[in-house]
Structure 1
Amino acid sequence: MSRLYIVVESLKDWTPYYPSEDVISFEDYLALPINKNDRVRLINLCRSYKYLSKGYYCSLLAEARGHHVIPSVRTLNEIEKRSLYSLILDLDDDTALSALKKLANKPDQELTFRCFFGKTSDPDLEPLGALVFEKLPCPVVEVEIEQKGGWKLSAMRPISHKGFDDQEQTLFANSLDAFSRKVWRKPKERKKYRYDMAVLVNPKEEMPPSDKGALKKLAKVGKQLGVAVDLIEPKDYQRIPEYDMLFIRETTAIDHHTFKFSKKAEAEGLIVMDDSTSIMRCTNKVYLADLLRANRVPTPKTLIVSKGDKQQLLAAAQELGLPMVLKIPDGSFSRGVVKVESPEELEQKAHTLFKQSALLLAQEFMYTDYDWRIGVLNGKPFYACKYFMARNHWQIYKHGEGSTAAGAWATLPTYEVPKVVLNAAVKAAGLIGDGLYGVDVKQKGNRAAVIEVNDNPSIESGVEDKYLGDELYRIILEEFIRRAEKKHNS
């Protein structure tokens, strides 16, 4: 049997409803022991699902722990952007038109309704409510549609169950009860469509993952393999359907156009790296920490600390010792990562970082002269680098006012990498997916500790390709081709 948890931001939020042992607070869920053998279903009813809110983290950590959660992080990201949810819930397709049949005679030019686990207060809207929940499974959403030569989706937003009137409370409770007794199933796969390679770059990016030399080599090898490589920029969003493949060579983030490009490309049937799931999983260090811990991947000792809990912060310092490292969840290139060496510095820097996120990572300080970077593609390691710390600094990158210094590097064949490092990297990458990843690993003697998995690893001319040369680009392109041919022949 599976275990059901209904997570609320505060137990006070559940006051209007019958008490239940299934209802727990977000803090209680955060403290639950992780057992990968448990089958857990989770209904996330936190007050807000905004990026980096407690509701967002609830779904994020549930997925890291292998729990089946509604709403999923994928749904939260989709429902946040009109361009995404309009693409997913297309009211002009046959299924939607069928659901809208009962609205044919309604004189209204605009309709706003709430969908409670697929149920609505208006029987005429029930088929549309069911479709909304199938496509974008979220406990309660408010939907606006309008007549513009046919019904069009004008707005959609998740709604907290707090503040419902008596009628809505009854509908919410009945819908939740009916839903929680059903067999959970994934929404139907959206249709995929099309087969030339678009490479997304941003000329304005200060530290892009690939330099011009690497992009030229990619185009040269692509031509040899029959792949036309075309560089596109953020302004070229509407051109995505022209291509068969999308290779993102700009630093990715969730609340960013790179994620939007990935989602759009997937919806159009392109072969995509980075895929949106990998972006979501890799760009948040809190998710990664829980995922790696739950699957027993070796890492530096890591704790999650919550905003507003000073005692938890001090306890983390006592357990990890000083100096220790604090990280915001979505920093990159050593940004948002600080070392603290005293209780006073800990409190000061934590206060600053908590302005950006409700949760932080507190991590054991593990100094090494260099970090390993293992490139993994489709579960196989294919390049290895040593990135040395910046001069007189404890990180690879040292950010100063108006400039950034980086340490030296060395590239070598994967067979020269210690097995303990290689095994940890491959295992960590496998938890993210089958895409292209750069896994950062620290090594001290026989101990290997995964620092993070990068969904958009650096591939620069004369650095990562120093040992393999053009073969590195050939390996990547041949994987794109393999996937495209598999899709074409399926």
Structure 2
Amino acid sequence: MPLDTLIVVDDPAAWPIDIPGTELVKARHYLTDPGYQNRRRVKVFNLCRSYRYQSLGYYVSLLAQARGHRPLPDVSAIQDLKSNSMIRTVSDELDDTIQKSLRPLRSGEFILSIYLGRNFAKRYDRLSQQLFSLFPAPFLRACFAYNPKREKWQMQNIMPLAASEIPEEHRAFALEKAVEYFQRPRPRTQRHGRARFDLAILTNPDEAEPPSNTRALQRFLHAARQVGFSAEIIGRNDFGRLAEFDALFLRETTSVNHHTFRFARRAVAEGLVVIDSPESILKCTNKVFLAELLRRHHIAVPDTLILHRPAPEPVIASLGLPCILKQPDGSFSRGVLKVDRAEDLRQELIHLLAHSDLVIAQRYLPTTFDWRIGIFDRQPLYACRYYMAARHWQILRHDLDGRLLDEGRWETLPIQDVPAGVVSTALKAANLIGDSLYGVDLKQVGRRVYVIEVNDNPNIDAGVEDAVLKENLYRIIMQGLMRRVEMRKGIPGK
């Protein structure tokens, strides 16, 4: 059943707009009329002149969320527009687009008006669409300044643009874009008859080494529909749509300084069930944090030093050579180096410390394979042996540019066939992070078991991690997501 669309404004008389399939509503009526309070499956486009705290526009978005309606902007977006740290992060992430779009300008300042993702000048459309995706408010004004020292443009702020502030020469264009926006078809995955909730699965089709291959994603979608979700694959440009869903499942490699983290944070703020949670991403994606956490809880790890100076002597004295150096936020075996000589150790430390104030050094423990124990809801889910790539010390071998050259073979085992110490150590480590989906990497040397790291977004590929449980692996995860959604909605478990 399609959503009803309400366009909420301060004064309908000031809006010469008639769009089939939408209803123009005065803000005060939306806030106080019981008829709007009781409606379901409603999308609210909040075009009030102000979203400042406790204004009419603020309350329209706030009460829309409380009623289960889907507002644009929502309160999280309103808060993001006030966040200097969010603005700096977005400016850095969109740096390439900003520089390409603004390079021809000769002035030191530039103001970009954005009308539902479009600008009056077509050459700014890409930048406008990306900013609208990250700050989903109908009308926006972004201010940029040129920094001569860095020889680049930077976004200074972005704020809602009141309809009354739209320049007269832009008003017809803004209304035209509003009509186009509301009338364009919105493709959605077909809602199956038994679907009760909406699930978004975040992926990146251009990712070289995604956490799930295409067949696995299709199996996740199938399992989601079996348990009662209407499931849809989304991408980074769907940030503004998060309020349409009840749960978010991240199947894109996560990082804190990355859109995946913002997706997780925004989804939590919207009341969605999220895997991976922002807390799990924070804890798992930094190896310095993990090393300290595991050490504090007396979980065995390879002998470890946390370094802040490029001095090889303490490393050699404590760990010997060869040793392992780790970039705190590396993933998929990248940012992890084996160093054999003292002079190489110093040079690699200089290189790594140029990007991070702290670096991890660990004793080298050669093994023919690493264990990976997949854990979900504090229970072991799957177990794999990942063998080292041929003539290499890691399971993945990359070239100097980070491209994958080779990978070792794998073997998936029933949990009951895994040494008990491996499973129990993995559970202890994962339980320090939370109750989400984790992949714990371990090495076994004789009878000793060492945790290498805990991954918040573990690989689940069709034909590998699902080799034992088959379709049931995907169903277990989707059932767990459904239970969490039901608990969040106050629906008694079956």
Structure-2-length-normalised TM-score: 0.60
Which residue number in structure 2 is paired with residue 314 of structure 1? 313
Which residue number in structure 1 is paired with residue 357 of structure 2? 358
Q: CA shift at 1:444, angstroms?
A: 1.1
Which residue number in structure 1 is paired with residue 338 of structure 2? 339
Q: For 1:189-228, what aligned pairs fall within 5 Å after superposition?
A: 195-228=197-230
Question: Structure 1 CA distance, aligned partners of 2:378 and 2:226?
Answer: 25
The answer on whether the counterparts of 2:84 and 2:157 sit within 8 Å (CA) in structure 1 is no
Q: CA shift at 1:351, angstroms?
A: 1.3
Q: In the alignment, residue 268 of structure 1 is paired with which amino acid? A: E
Is 1:301 paired with 2:303? yes
Which residue number in structure 2 is paired with residue 289 of structure 1? 291
Which residue number in structure 1 is paired with residue 329 of structure 2? 330
5+ unaligned residues in a row in structure 1: which ranges? Answer: 1-74, 86-142, 151-193
Which residue number in structure 1 is paired with residue 423 of structure 2? 422
Which residue number in structure 2 is paired with residue 273 of structure 1? 275
Q: For 1:78-477, what aligned pairs fall within 5 Å after superposition?
A: 80-82=85-87, 195-307=197-309, 310=311, 313-400=312-399, 402-477=403-478
Which residue number in structure 1 is paired with residue 110 of structure 2? none
Structure-1-length-normalised TM-score: 0.61
Q: How many residues align?
A: 311
Q: Could you say which structure has the larger radius of gyration?
A: 2
SS of match in other structure, 2:229: coil
Q: CA shift at 1:196, angstroms?
A: 1.1
Instruction: Check 1:196–1:145 CA distance in 2 against 1; reply closer, same or farther (3 A cut).
Output: closer
Q: In the alignment, residue 246 of structure 1 is paired with which amino acid? A: L
The answer on whether the counterparts of 2:255 and 2:261 sit within 8 Å (CA) in structure 1 is yes
Q: In the alignment, residue 81 of structure 1 is paired with which amino acid? A: M
Q: In the alignment, residue 446 of structure 1 is paired with which amino acid? A: R
Question: Structure 1 CA distance, aligned partners of 2:470 and 2:463?
Answer: 8
Question: Structure 1 CA distance, aligned partners of 2:420 and 2:472?
Answer: 23
SS of match in other structure, 1:392: coil
The answer on whether the counterparts of 1:200 and 1:247 sit within 8 Å (CA) in structure 2 is yes
Q: CA shift at 1:80, angstroms?
A: 2.4
Q: CA shift at 1:83, angstroms?
A: 9.5
Question: Structure 1 CA distance, aligned partners of 2:425 and 2:232?
Answer: 35
Measured against aligned partners, the alpha-carbon deviations of 1:310-333 in whole angstroms (never above 9, x if no partner) come to 2xx411221111111001100001
Question: Structure 2 CA distance, aligned partners of 1:406 and 1:417?
Answer: 22
Which residue number in structure 2 is paired with residue 117 of structure 1? none
Q: In the alignment, residue 342 of structure 1 is paired with which amino acid? A: R
Instruction: Check 1:456–1:79 CA distance in 2 against 1; reply closer, same or farther (3 A cut).
Output: farther
Question: Structure 1 CA distance, aligned partners of 2:158 and 2:477?
Answer: 44
The answer on whether the counterparts of 1:84 and 1:263 sit within 8 Å (CA) in structure 2 is no
Measured against aligned partners, the alpha-carbon deviations of 1:90-130 in whole angstroms (never above 9, x if no partner) come to xxxxxxxxxxxxxxxxxxxxxxxxxxxxxxxxxxxxxxxxx
Q: In the alignment, residue 315 of structure 1 is paired with which amino acid? A: P
The answer on whether the counterparts of 2:197 and 2:228 sit within 8 Å (CA) in structure 1 is no
Question: Structure 2 CA distance, aligned partners of 1:232 and 1:377?
Answer: 23
Which residue number in structure 1 is paired with residue 68 of structure 2? none
Q: CA shift at 1:403, angstroms?
A: 3.9
Question: Structure 1 CA distance, aligned partners of 2:398 and 2:89?
Answer: 35
Question: Structure 1 CA distance, aligned partners of 2:319 and 2:368?
Answer: 21
Instruction: Check 1:306–1:403 CA distance in 2 against 1; reply closer, same or farther (3 A cut).
Output: same
The answer on whether the counterparts of 1:195 and 1:270 sit within 8 Å (CA) in structure 2 is no
Superposition misfits of 4+ residues, deviation over 6 angstroms: 143-150
Q: What is the RMSD computed on CA atoms of the aligned residues?
A: 2.4
Q: In the alignment, residue 380 of structure 1 is paired with which amino acid? A: Q
Q: In the alignment, residue 278 of structure 2 is paired with which amino acid? A: S
Instruction: Check 1:323–1:227 CA distance in 2 against 1; reply closer, same or farther (3 A cut).
Output: same
SS of match in other structure, 1:476: helix
Q: CA shift at 1:404, angstroms?
A: 2.5
